[in-house]
Amino acid sequence: MQDLKQIFDNAVKDNNRENSLKVFSQIREALEKGEIRTAQKKDGKWTVNTWIKEAILWGFRIGALSEIQGTPWNYYDKDSIPVQNINLDKGVRLVPGGSSIRSGCYVAKGTVVMPPSYINIGAYVDEGCMIDSHALVGSCAQVGKNVHLSAASQIGGVLEPVGALPVIVEDNVFIGGNCGIYEGTIVKQNAVIGTGVILNAATPVFDNTTGEFIKKTGDAPLTIPENAVVIAGSRPITSGHGKEKGVHVYCPVIIKYRDDKTGKSITLEDTLR
């Protein structure tokens, strides 16, 4: 990785477009192979590889809007970001119907991508995942092994600022339909996010098993604990006219922690993959 970073730094200084496109092609290829990642876990903590995010932004900057050959139709994007070459060797089941896996993202073997869904540049999707219809994996988002991303759910991307942590979904997480995970939220392994839950930096999550609120604090992102089962809920406004009129605001709730019964209700047959 260090050598590639040095090559990138030199290319930025040289400011030669032809050479820059070649270097960015190397960076895209390394991202697609999973050799480099925009974020990774080190000593139990998720950290951002800022230079890789800088390189992706640089790749947009050096590109020129072009007509690019695609299947089944052409599209119009920066010439620095061509179509990713998806083939049988990748071991990804890409079902027909309008899905797109953009150049510069990693999707591991055994993943199923149902139509239409979209995986953006810089994202990392580990093996055995299900990306269901109308789902989004945003730029630089990190998705672990055996994650089920249900229909119409959104894993938000955080490309800039470059130092900002993207959304992280760890191994064996189940995300229900019409969910939204945004603004650098971390969902720890084995958690279950119920249908329609929205998680972001501004909304605290109430843990009904402890009576405490889980919040983003300072540089620490909102983090959903391991095995937590989160459902959509609400809490009353405690001041002003809202209190007088009994108005509630949205509040996700950890209703319990995962058990055998929860596991059975969300397990999919291996044949689907």
> Residue 272 falls within a domain, yes or no?
no
Using a 10 angstrom Cβ sphere, with 0-12 exposed, 13-18 middle and 19 or more buried, the burial of residue 263 is: middle
Query: How far is C-alpha 127 from the geometric centre of its chain's CA atoms?
Result: 14
Instruction: Indicate the average pLDDT of the chain.
Output: 93
pLDDT per residue over 98-147, tens digit each?
899 999 999 999 999 999 999 999 999 999 999 999 999 999 999 999 99
The better pLDDT of the pair 73, 179 is held by: 179
With vertex at residue 36, the alpha carbon angle to CA 149 and CA 110, rounded to the nearest 5 degrees, is: 35
Q: Are 181 and 155 in contact (CB under 8 A)?
A: yes
Residue 272 has pLDDT above 70, yes or no: no
pLDDT of residue 135: 98
pLDDT of residue 267: 63
CATH of the domain at 153: 2.160.10.10
pTM: 0.93
> Which pLDDT band holds residue 251 (cuts at 50, 70, 90)?
very high
> Residue 273 falls within a domain, yes or no?
no
> Residue 269 falls within a domain, yes or no?
no
Q: Measured between alpha carbons, how far is residue 248 from residues 35, 122, 180, 221, 269 in Å? A: 47, 38, 20, 25, 39
pLDDT of residue 260: 74
DSSP conformational letter for 236: E
> Residue 267 falls within a domain, yes or no?
no
- For the segment 170-177, the average pLDDT, to the nearest whole number, is 98
Report the distance separating Cα 236 and Cα 232, nearest Å. 14
DSSP H or E segment with residue 56? helix 50-62
What residue numbers bound the domain in which 159 lies?
2-260
Q: Where are the alpha helices (DSSP H) in the chain?
A: 2-14, 17-33, 50-62, 240-245, 260-266
Q: Are 141 and 156 in contact (CB under 8 A)?
A: yes
Contacts by residues 134-139 (CB-CB < 8 Å, ≥ 24 positions apart): 137/105, 138/166, 138/167, 139/56, 139/166
pLDDT of residue 268: 53
Name the β-bridge partners of 193: 175, 230
DSSP H or E segment with residue 13? helix 2-14
pLDDT of residue 269: 52
Which two tokens mark 205?
């999550």
The single-letter code of the amino acid at 228 is A
The single-letter code of the amino acid at 115 is P
Q: Which residues contact 18 (CB under 8 A, 6 or more apart)?
A: none
> Residue 271 falls within a domain, yes or no?
no
pLDDT per residue over 37-69, tens digit each?
999 999 999 999 999 999 999 999 999 999 988
Tally of structural domains, the chain: 1
Residue 8 has pLDDT above 70, yes or no: yes
DSSP conformational letter for 81: S
